[in-house]
């Protein structure tokens, strides 16, 4: 009890230093009991999501005494739906930040939570019915494709052959590809030779790239569209000893890739576009801070995708994150 | 209902009596026709492969180049080597759903240990030798665990390996902290020839695949153990009465498969130098598909290593052709693979 009081006092005084006294008072009055429901770490990106969610819990609970965060990870959609029920009945949450495992199957359970008065922020994979949410926070998939195309077009001086690798057939992947194609329309001398599915997987990307190299004698740049896939692409190029390729553009800003850019270790890898799992951290932070003040989030928040080059790479390098 | 005796058992334990009173229902007076059909049955996958190769060459002239052929064979090596082991398990009447996860965990464990020991052991060669030893040992141990749970524990192979499928991958994810485990740069360079180097113009993984297939064929067809494996799969009770140590033979088949997974991993790690939770995803289905397309009955009893090798190559040729051409919408890639799998299986279906 004593330590809680001390924490409260500490928190209050720290805030008083930053804000007006009345502001601090208003903040400590709102108690936020937040549930965070995210997919389990089954590949690099979700591994990053889990890490950043726990990081947010650590940082924010320390900064805001009135805030309690419970993080739940699920391996599939039904499990996540069960966890939602537990969060409601056992943890008695009043705020929910959810990265839905699947859009369609989680819409109903989330709508139920909202119906019970829980404030809901949905992250990245949306719901099929947006009335089930109060706010939506996501990465910018359009920019993810657009920035890559703009960068490659500039690098090739508007002329050359590009091959692309796609992720897993999903709306998210289509959005990126459409944005990429839209930019290329402005460059009639750039030819997109083909775009195949590499499933966001190194091994598949390796095979697809090997076959591209067999099929096309002149490739100027590769849009690998993901940092994991870029690893496979680089290996295939290295093995085939091809020197025609000038640039391999990944995507997402995985730490290994950002480090490569930072240190200029590979002349094929000069830039990347951010699509960091850190947006779960931002979503939790934005939601918590708004709710502590009793405010609402804007209905849509897009965490911008930014071009990462040698100059700004250090701002995107998080050595402790697994991704 | 007595299980239907099969070719393999007839070959393995052929007696004049068995030849006289053929236990299989054969249409009267069609012994020659039956033999021709059996031959056709064995040739099914090979015919399929030849048709595919002709189609590939017509669709894209680069298909038949040496480089492309080597690419395809090299990438088949992983699944092919696992499929050879899987062939034994399926012939014995079992199944292993965990091989993809097992390969991923072995790869992860290898990388962890090699990175940890690199500074103290000094020379990269000894570190790599140690890593290879660990991969084979782990494979054998995992296989032993499967075998013991199935025979002593009396649990269905499907259930045991469904369980370990989850366990292996979860441990890899845990070790990798949700990200990827990556081999040290220096070690990776020293190790990469194991995947990328050639011997007489043929990549090392292809040689290893060939060796594994040859040894597998010899074990299956020329040893007592191989005959026991086929006998168990054909009729376990009869094999038991014939004083075959069924439990020991079964444990050995799972260990053999585990070692094959270990060998495949030894070749896999130098390719990309890392293991992540997506490593080896769905390999179990690819390996099982290769074995079945190759003419082995899923219910056990008979099967050939040659068929399995052809099946594995056939599966990777399909995806290679799809990548080399752009006639079919990329959304339909998996559908084409499915159609070919079913088509080839239809060509070599068994008579009832």
pLDDT 10s digits, B208-246 = 999 999 999 999 999 999 999 999 999 888 999 988 899
Please report residues of B whose CB lies closer than 8 A to that of A43. 178, 276-278
Please report residues of A whose CB lies closer than 8 A to that of B333. 197
Q: Note the pLDDT of residue B41.
A: 61
Please report residues of A whose CB lies closer than 8 A to that of B176. 47, 322
Joined tokens for residue B177: 């902290």
Chain B: nearest CA to A9, how far in angstroms? 36
* pLDDT band (50, 70, 90) for residue B8: very low
Option in A194, A197, A239 nearest B196 (CB): A239
Please report residues of B whose CB lies closer than 8 A to that of A235. 271-272
Q: Note the pLDDT of residue B1.
A: 40
Are the beta carbons of B62 and A207 separated by less than 8 Å?
Answer: no
Joined tokens for residue A65: 């005494």
Are the beta carbons of B173 and A47 separated by less than 8 Å?
Answer: yes
Instruction: Indicate the helix (H) or strand (E) that contains A223.
Output: strand A221-223
Instruction: Provide mean pLDDT across the span B53-78.
Output: 89
Is ipTM over 0.90? no
Chain A: nearest CA to B262, how far in angstroms? 18
**B278 Cβ under 8 Å from any chain A Cβ:** yes
Best to test chain A binding among B64, B204, B273, B323 (most A CBs inside 10 Å): B323
CA distance linking residue A154 with residue B105, whole number of Å: 42
**B57 Cβ under 8 Å from any chain A Cβ:** no
Q: pTM above 0.80?
A: no
Strand partners, A138: A302
Please report residues of A whose CB lies closer than 8 A to that of B67. 214, 240
- Per domain, the residue ranges of chain B are 62-281
CA distance linking residue B157 with residue B99, whole number of Å: 13
Option in B67, B196, B331 nearest A169 (CB): B331
Chain A: nearest CA to B13, how far in angstroms? 44
CB pairs under 8 A between A and B: 96
Scanning B99-158 for CB atoms below 8 A from A yields none
* Phi-psi sector, B161: left (phi>0), alpha (psi -120 to 50), beta: alpha
Are the beta carbons of B276 and A44 separated by less than 8 Å?
Answer: yes
Joined tokens for residue A100: 């839905």
Cα dihedral A16, A20, A22, A26 sign: negative
Residue of chain B whose Cα is closest to the Cα of A202:
B272
* pLDDT band (50, 70, 90) for residue B83: very high
Are the beta carbons of A207 and B75 separated by less than 8 Å?
Answer: yes
Please report residues of B whose CB lies closer than 8 A to that of A197. 330, 333
**B167 Cβ under 8 Å from any chain A Cβ:** no
Are the beta carbons of B71 and A208 separated by less than 8 Å?
Answer: no
Q: What DSSP string runs through B215-281? A: HHHHHHHHSHHHHHHHHHHH-HHHHHHTT--HHHHHHHHHHHHHHHHHHHHHHHHHHHSEE-TTTTT
Strand partners, A32: A67
Query: pLDDT digit of tens for each residue in chain A (323 aa)?
Result: 455 556 655 555 555 454 444 444 444 457 899 999 998 887 678 888 999 999 999 999 999 988 999 999 988 888 888 888 888 888 889 999 999 888 888 888 898 889 889 999 999 888 888 888 999 998 888 999 999 999 999 999 999 999 999 988 877 888 899 999 999 999 999 999 999 999 888 889 999 999 999 999 999 999 999 998 999 999 999 989 999 999 999 998 888 899 999 998 899 999 999 988 888 999 999 999 999 988 888 998 888 889 999 999 888 888 888 87
Are the beta carbons of A47 and B333 separated by less than 8 Å?
Answer: no
Joined tokens for residue A119: 């404030």
Helices (H) and strands (E) in chain B, counts: 16, 4
- How does DSSP classify residue A130? G
Are the beta carbons of B65 and A239 separated by less than 8 Å?
Answer: no
Chain A: nearest CA to B97, how far in angstroms? 18
Joined tokens for residue B289: 């598909």
CA distance linking residue A150 with residue A221, whole number of Å: 13
Are the beta carbons of A48 and B178 separated by less than 8 Å?
Answer: yes
Are the beta carbons of B320 and A323 separated by less than 8 Å?
Answer: no
A232-241: buried (b, 16+ CB within 10 Å) or exposed (e) per residue? bbbbbbebbe
Option in A42, A208, A232 nearest B277 (CB): A42
CA distance linking residue A279 with residue A302, whole number of Å: 9
Chain B: nearest CA to A126, how far in angstroms? 23
Tell me: pLDDT of B176 over 60.
Answer: yes
Residue of chain B whose Cα is closest to the Cα of A166:
B330
Chain A: nearest CA to B42, how far in angstroms? 30
Residue of chain A whose Cα is closest to the Cα of B329:
A196
With CA atoms as reference, report the closest residue to B118 among B189, B54, B224, B28: B189
**B339 Cβ under 8 Å from any chain A Cβ:** no
CA distance linking residue B31 with residue B23, whole number of Å: 13
Distances (CA, A) of B216 to B22, B208, B246, B260, B289: 29, 12, 20, 10, 18
């Amino acid at each position: 009890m004593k330590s809680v009081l001390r924490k409260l006092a500490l928190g209050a005084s720290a805030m008083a230093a930053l804000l007006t006294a009345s502001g601090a008072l208003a903040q400590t009055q709102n108690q936020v009991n937040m549930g965070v429901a995210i997919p389990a770490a089954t590949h690099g990106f979700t591994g990053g999501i889990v890490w950043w969610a726990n990081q947010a819990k650590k940082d924010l609970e320390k900064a805001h005494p009135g805030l309690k965060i419970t993080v739940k990870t699920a391996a599939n959609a039904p499990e996540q739906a069960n966890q939602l029920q537990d969060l409601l009945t056992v943890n008695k949450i009043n705020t929910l930040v959810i990265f839905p495992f699947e859009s369609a199957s989680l819409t109903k359970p989330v709508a139920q939570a909202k119906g019970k008065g829980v404030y809901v922020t949905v992250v990245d994979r949306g719901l099929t019915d947006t009335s089930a949410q109060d706010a939506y926070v996501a990465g910018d998939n359009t920019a993810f494709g657009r920035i890559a195309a703009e960068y490659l077009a500039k690098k090739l001086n508007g002329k050359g052959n590009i091959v692309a690798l796609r992720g897993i057939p999903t709306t998210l992947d289509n959005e990126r590809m459409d944005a990429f194609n839209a930019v290329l329309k402005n460059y009639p001398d750039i030819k997109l030779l083909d775009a195949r599915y590499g499933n966001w997987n190194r091994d598949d990307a390796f095979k697809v790239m090997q076959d591209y190299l067999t099929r096309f004698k002149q490739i100027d740049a590769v849009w690998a569209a993901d940092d994991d896939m870029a690893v496979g692409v680089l290996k295939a190029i290295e093995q085939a000893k091809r020197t025609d390729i000038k640039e391999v553009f990944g995507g997402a800003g995985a730490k290994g890739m950002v480090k490569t850019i930072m240190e200029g270790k590979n002349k094929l890898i000069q830039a990347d576009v951010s699509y960091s799992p850190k947006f779960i951290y931002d979503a939790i932070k934005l939601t918590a801070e708004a709710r502590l003040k009793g405010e609402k989030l804007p209905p849509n928040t897009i965490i911008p995708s930014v071009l990462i080059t040698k100059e700004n790479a250090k701002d995107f390098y998080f050595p402790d994150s697994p991704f | 209902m007595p299980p239907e005796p099969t070719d393999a058992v007839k070959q393995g334990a052929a007696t004049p009596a068995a030849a006289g009173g053929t236990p299989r229902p054969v249409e009267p007076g069609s012994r020659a026709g039956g033999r021709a059909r059996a031959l056709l049955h064995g040739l099914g996958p090979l015919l399929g492969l030849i048709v595919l190769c002709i189609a590939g060459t017509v669709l894209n002239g680069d298909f038949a180049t040496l480089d492309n052929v080597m690419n395809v064979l090299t990438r088949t090596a992983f699944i092919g080597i696992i499929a050879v082991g899987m062939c034994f398990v399926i012939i014995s009447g079992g199944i292993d759903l965990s091989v993809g996860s097992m390969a991923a965990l072995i790869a992860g464990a290898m990388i962890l240990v090699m990175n940890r020991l690199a500074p103290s052991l000094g020379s990269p060669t000894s570190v790599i030798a140690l890593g290879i030893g660990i991969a084979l040992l782990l494979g054998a141990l995992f296989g032993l665990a499967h075998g013991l749970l199935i025979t002593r524990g009396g649990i269905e192979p499907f259930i045991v390996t469904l369980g370990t499928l989850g366990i292996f991958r979860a441990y890899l994810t845990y070790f990798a902290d949700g990200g990827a485990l990556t081999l040290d740069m220096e070690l990776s360079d020293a190790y990469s020839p194991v995947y990328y180097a050639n011997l007489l113009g043929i990549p090392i993984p292809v040689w290893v695949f060939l060796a594994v297939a040859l040894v597998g064929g010899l074990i299956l067809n020329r040893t007592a153990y191989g005959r026991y494996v086929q006998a168990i799969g054909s009729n376990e009770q009869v094999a038991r009465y014939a004083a075959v140590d069924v439990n020991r033979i079964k444990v050995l088949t799972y260990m053999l498969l585990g070692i094959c997974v270990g060998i495949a991993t030894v070749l896999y790690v130098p390719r990309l130098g890392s293991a992540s939770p997506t490593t080896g995803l769905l390999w179990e289905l690819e390996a099982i598909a290769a074995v079945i397309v190759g003419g082995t009955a899923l219910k056990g009893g008979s099967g050939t290593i040659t068929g399995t090798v052809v099946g594995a190559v056939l599966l990777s040729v399909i995806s290679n052709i799809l990548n080399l051409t752009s006639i079919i919408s990329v959304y339909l890639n998996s559908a084409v693979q499915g159609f070919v799998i079913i088509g080839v299986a239809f060509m070599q279906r068994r008579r009832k």
